[in-house]
Structure 1
Amino acid sequence: MHDIHSLIDRHDATGLAGLVSSGEISRHELLEASIARLESVEPRLNAVAEKLYDSARAAPPIDGAFAGVPTLIKDLFSPLAEARMSNGSLALGEARPGLDDAVVGRLREAGCQFIGTTTSPEFGTSYTTESSRFGATRNPWDTERSAGGSSGGAAALVAARVVPFAHGNDGGGSLRVPASCCGVFGLKPSRGRMPSGPLVGEGWAGMGTPHAITLSVRDSAALLDITAGADLGAPYAAPWQDEPFVDSLHRPHRPLRIALVEHLAPWTSGPEALAAVRHTARLCETLGHQVEYASLPVEPLAFLDQVFDVIGASTRSYLDLLGEMRGLPVADEELEPRTRVILREKGGVSGARYASAVAGIHALGRTLARFLLDYDLVLTPTLTREPPLIGSLDAFDERLDLATLVEHFHSYSPFTALFNASGQPAMSVPLYWTAGGLPIGSHFAARFAEESTLLALAAQLEALQPWAGHVPAVSARQR
């Protein structure tokens, strides 16, 4: 006899798939145990957009790398055939696309069992997962605080040990910010590494990409192995990876030259964020890597003005399409105040201005690529402070201007969006908890298409200072 919950507590997704494959546990008991774990933390976390228990129970078993492993899909531009896709907005009602996103399809082919979808803020444009549609998703370390955004539901459930990984996507930090807030691992792959179809050609001019939030580094690498690669008709693709990403975790260590950047003017990192990133720098030096203080050749306010040109135009285009599809224009009252501010100031940008913004984003990519000729990695704080209280980060009304929105969000997360624009891979690694018990991640970025360098270092840091033993107050783990 075995205790299924004890096994889930001790194993990541790779380990659980091995237990299913060997016959030590069954798909059915793993599914039912994961459903029970989800029920044990909801609604305290409010991380689920839709429960899909019945369809998961009825789904035929599929053999694959993650056969029998339960997970959830983020409810943001990532259709799942059996689920509603609201994108965190009231405007979509009960829309059900009835098809699988390319990444979702690859997870299904790998044998994953989908037990639900996770919450997102409206259209993914917030660093906290709060919406009129679903309310606030809460941090399992302190339910008065934000789980981060926009993959906050995914991060909260992984941190709470409901599932070992959950799907997410990242257009400006949306995997790494919630990973930092919730004390788990979040990797954003390179531009073109992951498929984006069939509904999306390129999200936000190529700044957006899907992947997952995981507890272990091994699972992140294994998930990349089964989901990476351009889908049919993709506008571009990252170079093919010759070796499996999981193999990079076992490479012999080589010394890395790491640029430590603590601030990005006009914003400064707070004392806890600095303590976290300096702690990580010391760990890197313990591993034999060279860490040097540096500054990034970036003008963030000008850059963010271009980013919001892209976001505003893309949002306007999407809402126009949504209105045509449903036969009724999207009204302002269906949208969050934050979305109304973005649309008011950036929804009507000209084609010339949009093209200029894309050119500026590409120019930044070249600038950061040149910077990384001298370094293997850049290390920064993921966030400038600990997770904020619910209601404090996204407390907007439509009378405010975009400059206030930018200040509010990007003084909190000044670094993450840079590497969406550059297309370079980046990750948040959970290596520090404040005296009050709140996690703060450390953020690394690598050269384009060098996810293996990030994953290899993350595996070293995980071995040196394991984080899986840090368990939040709200958790499905047995005590």
Structure 2
Amino acid sequence: MALTGLSAVELSKLIKTKKVSAVEVVEVHLTRIEEVNPKINALCTVLHDQALLAAREADAAVRNNEELGPLHGIPVALKDLTPTEGVRTTRGSKLFTNNIPSEDALIVQRIKRAGGIIIGKTNTPEFGHKGVTDNLLFGPTRNPWNLDRVAGGSSGGSSAAVAAGLVPIAEGSDGAGSIRIPASMCGVFGFKPTYGRVPDVQGAFSSHSPFFHNGPIARNVTDAALLYDVMAGSHYSDPFSIPSSDDVLNSIDGGIRGLKVAYSSNLGYFQVDPEVEKACQKAAETFASLDCVVEEVDPGFDEELERDFMILWYGKLASMYGDLSDEEFALLEPKVQELIHEGKKMSAVEYVRANLAREKVWGKLLEIHNKYDLLLCPTTAVTAFPVEHGAPSVINGRSINPLIGWFLTYPFNLTGNPVSSVPCGFSGDGLPIGLQIIGRHLADEVVLRASRSFEQSTRYFEKTRVGEVHV
């Protein structure tokens, strides 16, 4: 298999044993980017010279028998929301066309210290505000499985890059499902850790209403655990950060025999395409074959969740960008302008009331996790839809909010629980379907272990390897 088809763990072993050089690894990925990225538009910035320089330094460290980090010589892509020293970071917005941060975010520092080589920045919608990746600067990111379809968002660039073999692993961020949505639509694995496990990159006091998480995107759970172990861990700069679990990578093969697992087809109020529901129901049955006790539940959530979540997003965007000059405001996408206008019309009481409503969600989820170790449900209600059509406004004949009504992810940004999206099947037209695995607060290792067990049982990750995508 070509180097671009190998996992990060496999590449790491080859580099450290001198069977392949870091320069070779970076060069083949840069060639892959040159060939494929024009078709899918996953990377908006490619760090060709910087990556090769870092690779040469990585090879020198191997030759000199220096201590090597867990990501030594591995190409990594970063989402264009994540500050990167000396590298343009646009946040998908014309407002930040020429923004060049003066320092790396903490997680970028950790990736570099672990030997990771930053090969580029990945496309994102403006400020990561929606589940589809396109913006006025770089245009749409397309799905490697079908170039006419969306990649999801807002970490669509990262997910498409991983699915297409442009990088083995990538970083994403998730404020409403932005890791899990594109992971599901691109047929890769995405993990949103417990809030605080990975120190925030946005600003400590802007990341909790709703909870904003950074996490790994990879073609398999093992690679995701490798990157998660590097990114996670408390730091004094983030007052909400918490210690990470010790060495998750070496615990994910422990199995899940005896776990109690709840399954919900729609979380009580979402409209879900029957094809997606069928695949996720079959996935839930797989957990029974893994010696888990599986029972269907109704979480008791209702459509008020959508309203409260949208109020929090209105307030967040309005507080950050509501005081722009008319000239600056005109640079924003019309939908972002609309969301900011809505936020500026809200009262403080409305905002706080929506924030307090999160306790209802937390309570209902706690009731489930008092009885069950895990909750399963679909990641998205539909598979990847055509780029030209935009997000669906109707599912099963029922009207939905095209901004957030087609993904079942945002309730868990109200609570901060650890959640993964793992490939669980394919639609009739060959598009990936994803399953969410939701764990108790702080049970990151259990979610990753369950994801790994499911992955090993179904082998869907083999079907989503680079050679299978249609680019």
TM-score norm. by structure 2 comes to: 0.91
Q: 1:465 to 1:35 in 2, by over 3 A?
A: same
1:133-152 matched pairs, under 5 angstroms: 133-152=137-156
Superposition map of 1:226-245 within 5 A? 226-238=230-242, 240-241=244-245, 243-245=246-248
**For 1:273, what is the secondary structure of its paired residue?**
helix
**Mapped partners of 1:305, 1:406: distance in 2:** 12
Contact 2:269–2:301 (8 Å) recurs in 1? no
Shift of 1:106: 0.6
The Cα offsets for residues 65-120 of structure 1, whole Å up to 9 and x where unpaired, read as 111001110001x1011311111111112111121111111111111111110000
Name the SS for the 2:124 alignment partner.
Answer: coil
In the alignment, which residue of structure 2 is the partner of 1:401?
none
Counterparts in 2 of 1:330 and 1:120: CA distance versus 1, 3 Å: farther
Structure 1 alignment gaps of length 5 or more: 397-403
Structure 1 counterpart of 2:254, which letter? R
2:449 to 435, 447, 456: 456
Alpha-carbon deviation of 1:445? 0.4
Matched, 1:87 2:99: no
- Please tell me whether the aligned partners of residues 160 and 471 of structure 1 are also in contact (alpha carbons under 8 angstroms): no
- Report the CA distance shift for 1:364/1:471 in structure 2 as closer, same or farther (over 3 A): closer
Counterpart amino acid of residue 429 in structure 1: V
Task: Give the direction of change, closer, same or farther, for the CA distance of 1:256–1:405 in structure 2 (3 Å limit).
Answer: same
Question: CA 1:255/1:237 → structure 2, altered by over 3 Å: closer, same or farther?
Answer: same
Matched residues in 2 for 1:377 and 1:475: separation? 31
Q: Deviation of residue 306 (structure 1)? A: 2.1
Q: 1:36, 1:15 → 2: CA distance?
A: 19
What are the Cα deviations for residues 304-331 of structure 1, in whole angstroms up to 9, with x where unaligned? 222222222221222257x4xxxx5554
Which letter does structure 1 place at the counterpart of 2:73?
G
> How has the CA–CA distance of structure 1 residues 201 and 103 changed in structure 2, closer, same or farther, with 3 Å as cutoff?
farther
Which amino acid in structure 2 is aligned with residue 319 of structure 1? Y
Counterpart of 1:438?
Answer: 431
Among residues 51, 54, 75, which one is paired with 1:70 in the alignment? 75
Residue 315 of structure 2 is matched in structure 1 by 313
Which of 10, 13, 16 is matched with 1:18 structurally? 13
Query: Conserved in 2, the CA contact under 8 Å of 1:71 and 1:116?
Result: yes
Instruction: Give the equivalent residue in structure 1 for 2:64.
Output: none
Deviates more, 1:176-185 or 1:273-282: 273-282
Within 1, Cα distance between the matches of 2:4 and 2:42?
20
Task: Please say if residues 273 and 440 of structure 1, whose CA atoms lie closer than 8 Å, have aligned partners that are also in contact.
Answer: yes
1:366-405 alignment, distance < 5 Å = 366-394=363-391
Partner amino acid, structure 2, of 1:435: G
SS at match of 1:174: coil
CA contact (8 A) 1:204 1:314 kept: no
Aligned to 2:401: 407
Give the total of aligned pairs.
457
Cα offset, 1:281, TM superposition: 1.3
Deviations 1:163-189 (A, max 9, x none): 111110001110110011000001110
Deviation at 1:473, TM superposition (A): 8.7
1:266 deviation in Å? 4.1
Which residue of 1 is the match for residue 65 of structure 2? Answer: none
2:2 corresponds, among 6, 20, 40, to 6
Matched ranges for 1:349-364 at <5 A: 349-364=346-361
Deviation at 1:357, TM superposition (A): 2.3
Q: Which amino acid aligns with 1:179?
A: A
* Aligned residues of 2:263 and 2:297 also touching (Cα < 8 A): yes
Return closer, same or farther for 1:109/1:126 CA change in 2, 3 Å cut-off. Answer: same
1:401-457 Cα offsets, whole Å, 9 max, x none, are: xxx9971133311x2111111111111110201221110111110100101111111
Cα distance in structure 1, aligned partners of 2:465 and 2:20: 26
What is the RMSD of the two structures over their aligned residues, measured on CA atoms? Answer: 2.4
Correspondence list, 1:201-212, <5 A: 201-205=205-209, 207-212=211-216
Query: Structure 1 residues 126 and 72, CA, compared in 2 at 3 Å: closer, same or farther?
Result: same
Q: Distance in 1 between matches of 2:432 and 2:443?
A: 26
Secondary structure at the counterpart of residue 437 of structure 2: strand
Question: In 2, Cα distance between the equivalents of 1:395 and 1:273?
Answer: 15
Deviation, 1:288, is 1.2
- Counterpart of 2:71, as a letter, is F
Give 1:150's aligned amino acid. S
Instruction: State the match for 2:262 in structure 1.
Output: 259
**CA distance, structure 2, for counterparts of residue 257 and residue 385 of structure 1:** 27
Partners of 1:82 and 1:297 in 2: CA distance: 48
Q: Secondary structure at the match of 1:42?
A: helix
Aligned mate of 1:27, from 7, 13, 22: 22
Tell me the SS of whatever aligns to 2:318: helix
Once residues 83 and 433 of structure 1 are traced to their aligned partners in structure 2, the CA distance between those partners, rounded to angstroms, is: 37
Report the CA distance between 1:141 and its aligned residue: 0.5
Aligned CA distance change for structure 1 residues 383 and 342 (closer, same or farther; 3 Å) = same
Report the CA distance shift for 1:405/1:53 in structure 2 as closer, same or farther (over 3 A). Answer: farther
CA pair 330-166 structure 1, distance change in 2 beyond 3 A? farther
> Residues 373, 20 of structure 1: CA spacing in aligned structure 2 closer, same or farther, 3 A cutoff?
same
TM-score (norm 1): 0.89
Note if contact 2:268-2:300 (Cα within 8 Å) is conserved in structure 1: no
User: What is the Cα deviation at residue 128 of structure 1?
Assistant: 0.8
1:284, distance to aligned residue in structure 2 (A): 1.0
More off after superposition, 110-119 vs 223-232: 223-232
Could you tell me which runs of 5 or more consecutive residues in structure 2 were left unpaired when the two chains were aligned: 62-67
